[in-house]
Amino acid sequence: MSETDPVKLMKQEVGRAAAAQVKSGSIVGLGTGSTTAYAIQFIGDRIQSGELEDIQGIPTSFQASVLAKKHGIPLTTLDEVSRIDIAIDGADEVDPQKNLIKGGGAAHTREKVVDSLADHFIVVVDSSKLVDRLGSTFALPVEVLPMAIAPVTRALEALGGKVELRMGVKKDGPVITDQGNMVLDVTLEGIDQPAELEKTLNNIPGVLDNGLFIGVADEVLIGEVKDGQATVR
């Protein structure tokens, strides 16, 4: 596979760099999103070429499991294994402390389970995702039980957020997560105390989890395009 679009090329190179860190015998958390999709493809390529052996993937979403099967990555579950060696996942915002906002693909609840369990969690992003303060460019996703949408919306508004129910691309119905829930996107225009906010939000009855990942990431691989060339740092 070779891309000519510079943004796709850059995502491809970040995905390749992350996939290169996977070692034989590893249990690998497989993230969700367009950047991680390249990492999944390159892990699959390395398995097919015989370079990687004895890999088991733990997908963070239905989308990730479909991609993993397409690229020949054997899958397992958290019932079967007691550790995850390495996880690779994207992000929607990354701050200087490697704290993240995730959930642009509505998969953050399962992503947090898998990414938090990994001994080494690599985030794969392009430089547009880097922010000084979380919440400055991306609304914070909150997964909510459908029957609790109204009270959770009111609770989030009381915290100062502008709340929108995430709709599907055709706008004819809400996005439904892999767990059968809905997503509220909360615009906060900058989050001062993300660790506290993560806990506060998860204490609202009806909230499954929110997209703040505080102290979870170990390494951030950043892709950039300069003069038409993709680089990773």
For the question of residue 111 being annotated catalytic, the response is yes
Amino acid code (one letter) for 128 = S
- Nearest to 191, CA basis, from 181, 201, 182: 201
Segment contacting ligand 5RP by CB under 6 A, of 29-37, 49-57, 165-173, 193-201:
29-37
> Rounded to the nearest whole angstrom, what is the least distance from the CB of residue 158 to ligand 5RP in the complex?
26
> Rounded to the nearest whole angstrom, what is the least distance from the CB of residue 209 to ligand 5RP in the complex?
11
**Interface residue with ligand 5RP, options 90, 161, 206, 223 (CB under 6 A):** 90
- With CB under 6 A as the rule, give the number of residues binding ligand 5RP: 17
198 binds ligand 5RP (CB under 6 A): no
> Rounded to the nearest whole angstrom, what is the least distance from the CB of residue 24 to ligand 5RP in the complex?
26
59 binds ligand 5RP (CB under 6 A): no
What is the DSSP code string of the chain?
A: ----SHHHHHHHHHHHHHHTT--TT-EEEE--SHHHHHHHHHHHHHHHTTSS-S-EEEESSHHHHHHHHHTT--B--TTT-S-EEEEEE--SEE-TTS-EE--TTS-HHHHHHHHHHEEEEEEEEEGGGB-SSTTSSSPEEEEE-GGGHHHHHHHHHHTT-EEEE-B-TTSSSB---TTS-EEEEEE-S--S-HHHHHHHHHTSTTEEEESEE-S--SEEEEEEEETTEEEE-
103 binds ligand 5RP (CB under 6 A): yes
Residue (90 or 194) nearer to ligand 5RP, CB: 90
In degrees rounded to 5, what are phi and psi of residue 24? -55, 145
Residue (57 or 104) nearer to ligand 5RP, CB: 104
**Interface residue with ligand 5RP, options 12, 32, 65, 99 (CB under 6 A):** 32
**Interface residue with ligand 5RP, options 15, 29, 31, 194 (CB under 6 A):** 31
d(CA 57, CA 65): 9
Instruction: Determine whether the annotation assigns residue 185 to a binding site.
Output: no
> Rounded to the nearest whole angstrom, what is the least distance from the CB of residue 82 to ligand 5RP in the complex?
25
108 binds ligand 5RP (CB under 6 A): yes
Residues annotated as catalytic (active site), given as ranges: 111
Residue ranges that bind ligand 5RP, judged by CB under 6 A: 31-35, 89-92, 102-108, 111
Binding-site residues for substrate sit at 32-35, 89-92, 102-105, 129
